[in-house]
Structure 1
Amino acid sequence: MQERLRQLSYYRWLIFGVAAMGTFMAVLDSTIVNVALPVIAVNLNVELAIVQWVVSAYLLVITILLPLFGKVGDLYGRRRVYLLGFVIFTIGSLLCGLSHGIWLLVLARVVQAIGASMLMANAPAIVSVTFPGKQRGRALGMIGTVVALASMIGPILGGVLVGLFNWQSIFYINLPIGLCAYLLGYFILPVEEKEGSASFDVQGAMLFASGMTGLLIVLLKGQEWGWGSYLVDIISMITIILLGTFIWYENKIEHPMIDLSLYKCWPFLAGNLSGLLSFMALFSNVILFPFYLHSILLFSPTEIGLAITPFPLLMAVIAPVSGYLSERISPALLSSSGLSIVMIGLWYLSTLDTQSVIWNVLIGQGILGIGHGMFQSPNNNSVLSCVPKEKVGLASGMSALMRNIGMVSGTAVTVSVFEWTRQMELAKVSLPSQTANISAFLIGYHDSLMIGACFAGLGALISLSRKGHAVLKT
């Protein structure tokens, strides 16, 4: 059957469709659960601080495993790892729906995240090696569209399913989709010849996983525990030792888990750094934006949903266009222009106040969507074009890793700046009134957005520095 499929003129796009399904499922489940958290907390009789681990565990595991499964895909075949990802993700979804206790649910989410990391690490790599140089930017741009649509549909679909059925339905819906995606992938994805016989770096994987766990725990819990607290200091010191040992060990062995020599290619390093900064910039707004709409502008849930829509909608439109243009225009120029627009969007949002109306909010979100859509596709194209074919899976996983670290660290910096500024403002008055609380909130929110704008501006400069640099492959 696969031989007949290979003869089709659109066979590459069938492969793209399978890659898009895995990306869509993994991203969807990172957003669909958020809507159900209050219901899960009530049904399982737990506090919000505990139920948040349903989301945090998923994020932690994906972040830790992304480069590992990118490397495994390079060694043992991306098709094999990708299809196994569908199986594990689907089993994890079933276990999530069957869970009757919070820690069983968290454990099931860990299983689900293992499958999701297999999908997320290998989908862009499959697309990158399937499409030739001149078409790669367009295809990766469309993957960006899939990510945006999944992010947009997740909360909406989650609300509908929980409202009509129950919270378990958000996991059960993955079962038929996962089975269908596996069967399609089995028949469509080409069987690869083994690239080489290098062994898997177990020691490096353990050092990396331990170090990244420490780093992400500090970023996620630092504000709650206190950045200068004894516990945070101890975990930070252990994390530095583990990651330092990991870097030393990876430079020493013949077949490392992460090939640090890739960073000698400046477009690869610059693309990853600017990708990290882009998500740090975006998450300076993502976390606090709904609270601004709810607490300051007194928007209804419907209005909040409407206000969020322009970002993923415009990103979904701009990303494939930007990917197409990256085949003809310097990716460095496009990506740096995109981050410059993100910087302008964050600055614009920092001017909103108690008198702002929904149109002001929609414009700000639209600017961010245009900017990020313009940045993401050319940046992905530039990064994956800079590595040899046999290492594209590893490069894909490392890029996704930077994206996740950007989300976590952007959230940590945003919350820290917001809380510190807000407390400083409230300390100026002995008995804070409602007006003082609103004023302190806005000052903290605006300062966080300006920090995010600085991240975007720095990312734009780093991204532009790639212009004129040679790459390892085209």
Structure 2
Amino acid sequence: MSAISVNDGLPVPQRYGAILAIALGITVAVLDGAIANVALPTIARELNASPAESIWIVNAYQLAIIISLLSLSFIGDMIGYRRVYQCGLVLFTCTSVFCALSDSLTMLTIARVLQGFGGAALMSVNTALIRIIYPQRHLGRGMGINSLIVAVSSAAGPTVAAAILSVASWKWLFLINVPVGIAALCLALRFLPDNPQKSQGQRFDIPSAVMNALTFGLLISLLSGFAQGQNGTLLLVELVLLLIIGTLFIRRQLRLPFPLLPVDLLRIPIFALSLGTSICSFCAQMLAMVSLPFYLQNVLGRSEVSTGLLLTPWPLATMVMAPIAGRLIERVHAGLLGAIGLAMFASGLFALALLPNAPADADVVWRMMLCGAGFGLFQSPNNHTIISSAPRNRSGGASGMLGTARLLGQTSGAALVALMFNLFANHGTHFSLLLAGSFATVATVVSALRIRQPRSVHG
């Protein structure tokens, strides 16, 4: 491996191989957070699970990532991002086979938890690796590519699932990861650079890691338990534990010189506001993407493939709009771009909630396009703002917070879908979409509040 400096990045041939290794790994890791959504009704039937129970196929993966993301990012600072990323690829690829071989909901849930730890290893260090791969003057290009991959992969699950399900069973939703994972691992072994220097004086704080896992685990368990209608006493106990452990966790982070959860960054107003809009937007996206397949298949009687194709305009519109938004951020304030994009997003979600009783394909398609275009216009500038508003030496912490916010929003959205289906059995999708539109509306207002903030606190 050739020597590199922090600012010079990799030479061009090696840079392309390295960014391709990142792109392939992140694509499958993010994609697997949503790829099972289209097939959830089918998987639920085959594994004898209810629609609400089947949400755990999505939730288990997201939960495993959110409780381990920050810890793995911290470990990457200590032992090297390259090593964490390569281990993540191995674990992710092997557990994808485990998912495909599952013959019960319990077995598939366990497999998805293990797969989530592999995905977390990939997501925890990808931005840190990009900072090493790209020269400082071209770092924005690398961040732009990464933001586009994450945004499109988050929304493209139904499209990819439709293509796979048109020729194979749901098990191939997971088996398809194997050749991609092997290809990414070969590229990672050959092209990924090691850290120019390991962190000095940084020690992994085990109590912080435990409290981090417990805090986010209890939060998601509380949301899911409430959605599933669990015993009120158990929920109350979880709430009390969450408040106690969460408070101790945050107080500990504020005292540490190298905090696992960089809560001090929330003191930067535009950072905190941007993080809030990210949580709300991904929660709204997940509410729509998880609930719509049940409506399209169980109410309208569409096939899995037809369902996936009807959801395809969303990621296509995001793919078109995200690069445009990336260029607009140089001239237009991210708060204004975000407010416009989120207003479009909210309008599309409310329009989906108000679909006629027997909608034509066109009725669904234009609404999905509006959602995707609005989401794409908002997401890239928002991610750029989160990273650039933090001090340069805290970019890793900002990246970890960005990933945590996205996953917290997605996991909360999936749990809220289960709540809507339990409360409104025959109209779960309708109320999920109304709730999604409400989250997007709140995010629109929060994004507009950023307009008076400086465009970038740290260049």
Do they superpose with TM above 0.5?
yes
SS in 1 for 2:33: helix
Say if 1:324 and 1:17 are closer, same or farther in 2 by CA, change over 3 A. Answer: farther
> Could you list the runs of 5+ residues in structure 2 that have no partner in the other structure?
none
Q: Is the 8 A contact 2:162 2:309 kept in 1?
A: no
Q: Deviations over 1:107-133 (max 9, x none)?
A: 332222111001112223323454456
Deviation at 1:47, TM superposition (A): 5.9
The superposition leaves residues 26-73 of structure 1 with CA deviations (integer Å, 9 ceiling, x where unpaired) of 022223334555665566666666554333221110111112222222
C-alpha separation in 2, matches of 1:121 and 1:382: 19
Structure 2 match to 1:62 = 65
Displacement of 1:3 in angstroms is 6.6
Return the letter of the residue paired with 1:223: A
Partner residue, 1:32: 35
Q: 1:464 maps to what in 2?
A: 451
Amino acid at match of 1:252: R
Give the aligned partner of residue 251 of structure 2. 248
For the aligned residue pairs, the C-alpha RMSD in angstroms reads 3.3
Amino acid in structure 2 at the alignment position of 1:206: V
Q: Is the 8 A contact 2:284 2:437 kept in 1?
A: no
The secondary structure found in structure 1 opposite 2:357 is coil
CA contact (8 A) 1:204 1:250 kept: yes
Q: 1:298-344 CA deviation, whole Å, 9 max, x = no partner?
A: 55545433321111011012112222332444333323332232223
Show CA shifts across 1:183-241 (max 9, x none). Answer: 21122122222132310111011011112111101112212226x82221221111111
2:211 maps to 207
| 2:395 is the alignment partner of 1:392 | yes
How many Å apart are 1:346 and its aligned residue? 2.6
Equivalent residue of 1:288, what SS? helix
Query: Matched residues in 1 for 2:111 and 2:296: separation?
Result: 33
1:116 and 2:119 aligned: yes
Amino acid at match of 2:221: I
Which structure has the bigger radius of gyration? 1
Contact kept? 2:288, 2:433, Cα under 8 Å? no
Return the alpha-carbon distance in structure 2 between the equivalents of residues 279 and 10 of structure 1.
35
Cα distance in 1, alignment partners of residues 436 and 165 from structure 2: 33
Identity percentage of aligned residues: 31
Instruction: Map 1:418-429; keep pairs closer than 5 Å.
Output: 422=424
1:410-445 alpha-carbon deviations (Å, 9 max, x no partner): 34456656765x59xxxxxxxxxxxxx7xx779746
Q: CA deviation at 1:402?
A: 0.8
**Which of 266, 272, 275 does residue 272 from structure 1 map onto?**
275
| CA distance in structure 2 between the partners assigned to 1:229 and 1:189 by the alignment | 49
Deviations 1:243-298, CA, capped at 9 Å, x for gaps: 11111122233332122222222232222111111112323433433344445555
Aligned residue in 2 for 1:261: 264
Change (3 A) 1:443 1:161: closer
Aligned to 1:319: 322
In the alignment, the residues of structure 2 paired with residue 418 and residue 38 of structure 1 have an alpha-carbon distance, to the nearest angstrom, of 13
CA contact (8 A) 2:37 2:289 kept: no
Mapped contact 1:137–1:377 kept (Cα < 8 A): no
If the length of structure 1 is used for normalisation, what is the TM-score? 0.84
Residues 171 and 234 (structure 1), Cα distance of their counterparts in 2 relative to 1, 3 Å cut: same
- d(CA) in 1 for partners of 2:456, 2:450: 14
Check the 8 A contact 1:18/1:185 in 2, yes or no. Answer: yes
Question: 5 Å matches for 1:138-287?
Answer: 138-151=141-154, 154-158=157-161, 161=164, 164=167, 166-192=169-195, 193-225=197-229, 229-287=232-290
Aligned to 2:99: 96
Cα distance in 2 for residues equivalent to 1:283 and 1:94: 25
Q: How many positions carry a matched residue from both structures?
A: 455
AA matched with 2:446: G
TM-score (norm 2): 0.86
**How many angstroms apart in 2 are the aligned matches of 1:116 and 1:354?**
39
* Structure 1: gaps spanning 5 or more residues: 424-436
* C-alpha distance 98-20 of structure 1, shift in aligned 2 (>3 A): same
Are the equivalent residues in 2 in contact too, given 1:315–1:369 (CA < 8 A)?
A: yes
Partners of 1:37 and 1:304 in 2: CA distance: 12
Over 3 Å counting, the alpha-carbon distance change for 1:99 and 1:448 in structure 2 is closer
